[in-house]
Amino acid sequence: MSIHIKTQEEIEKMRVAGRLTAQVLTMIEPHVIAGVTTDELNDICHDYITNELSAIPAPLNYRGFPKSICTSVNHQVCHGIPSDKKLKAGDAINIDITVIKDEYHGDSSQMFVIGKPSIQATRAIEASHIAMWKGIKMVKPGVQLGDIGHAIQKYAESKNCSVVREYCGHGIGKNFHEDPQVLHYGTPQTGVTLEEGMTFTIEPMVNIGKRHVKMLKDNWTVVTKDHSLSAQWEHTILVTENGFEVLTLRENEVVPDV
């Protein structure tokens, strides 16, 4: 139960793992189309990670998780298990990729929509995306995790959305999940104070309806209790001397003005 401050050598390895994670999301995008199954997306990612990147898909066998990526569709909040179900027009899907390279983890997820997004999907996807970036942009030494959680919650709720509380961001490094817990709600000036060299994820799950969730019988897939749409984005972040570095930034992704 302690927060590991990464050395320069570890940070360099986290940069590599983060870059590879981002590459997987860029690679999979053109495959996320109507008619594809989430199993097929899983297999494409698995082969790319193991063969092209010579890396390890961290979810596979993690606490018994049966696949190499998480795919959470529509009212699924997180930890969806790839299956033989086909994606169809209007579906909104979160693909969550975690890669291990040279013992270190990169963890990132993004939303994709098949065809034209519904107004509700657009709302959830934009609210969670901007909420994540509002949180990321606060990161610098001296800021407290409660400040970040509060900023994320305040933004999501201002858009009439709710923030899931049962799952959170997390420290990351040699471990997939380590201290600290990064809550996506909170009270300013509370919680862990950030220091240079910390690495953690920010990954808010934002619902159009109520915040409450339940677990499906597969013991992994988390869904909204009211079956409202849910959206999530995730990046792995390094606290730098003056601010933050997004370790999983994709090649064509720019840090937005939020």
CA distance 88 to 118: 13
Comparing CB distances to ligand MF3, the nearer of 110 and 201 is: 201
Q: Shortest gap between Cβ of 194 and Co ion (angstroms)? A: 17
Comparing CB distances to Co ion, the nearer of 96 and 178 is: 96
Q: Which residues contribute to the site for ligand MF3 (CB under 6 A)?
A: 59, 62-63, 65, 70, 79, 96, 98, 107, 201, 203, 220, 234
Q: Is 93 exposed, middle or buried (0-12, 13-18, 19+ CB in 10 A)?
A: buried
Residue nearest to ligand MF3 according to CB distances in the complex: 59
Comparing CB distances to Co ion, the nearer of 91 and 178 is: 178
By CB under 5 A, name the one of 74, 201, 207, 232 that touches Co ion: 201
CA distance 16 to 8: 13
> Would you say the C-alpha torsion 18, 20, 23, 29 has a positive or negative sign?
negative
By CB under 5 A, name the one of 91, 107, 147, 178 that touches Co ion: 107
CA distance 23 to 250: 7
Helix (H, G, I), strand (E, B) or coil at 217: coil
Comparing CB distances to ligand MF3, the nearer of 91 and 234 is: 234
Residue 59 binds which entry of ligand MF3, Co ion, none, with Cβ cut-offs from 5 to 8 Å by kind?
ligand MF3
CA distance 21 to 48: 11
CA distance 235 to 175: 16
Residue 147 binds which entry of Co ion, ligand MF3, none, with Cβ cut-offs from 5 to 8 Å by kind?
none
* 186 to 135, 146, 207, 220, 235: CA distances (angstroms): 12, 5, 17, 26, 19
Residue 16 makes CB contacts below 8 A (sequence gap 6+) with 101, 102, 104
Residue 62 binds which entry of ligand MF3, Co ion, none, with Cβ cut-offs from 5 to 8 Å by kind?
ligand MF3
Q: Shortest gap between Cβ of 193 and ligand MF3 (angstroms)? A: 23
Using the rule CB under 5 A, give the single segment among 54-62, 80-88, 200-208, 220-228 that binds Co ion: 200-208
Q: Shortest gap between Cβ of 98 and ligand MF3 (angstroms)? A: 5
Using the rule CB under 5 A, give the single segment among 135-143, 220-228, 229-237, 245-253 that binds Co ion: 229-237
Q: Shortest gap between Cβ of 64 and ligand MF3 (angstroms)? A: 8
Q: Shortest gap between Cβ of 70 and ligand MF3 (angstroms)? A: 5
Q: Does 178 bind Co ion (CB under 5 A)?
A: no
| DSSP-derived secondary structure letter, 161 | -
Which residues of the shown chain bind Co ion in the complex (CB under 5 A)?
Answer: 96, 107, 201, 234
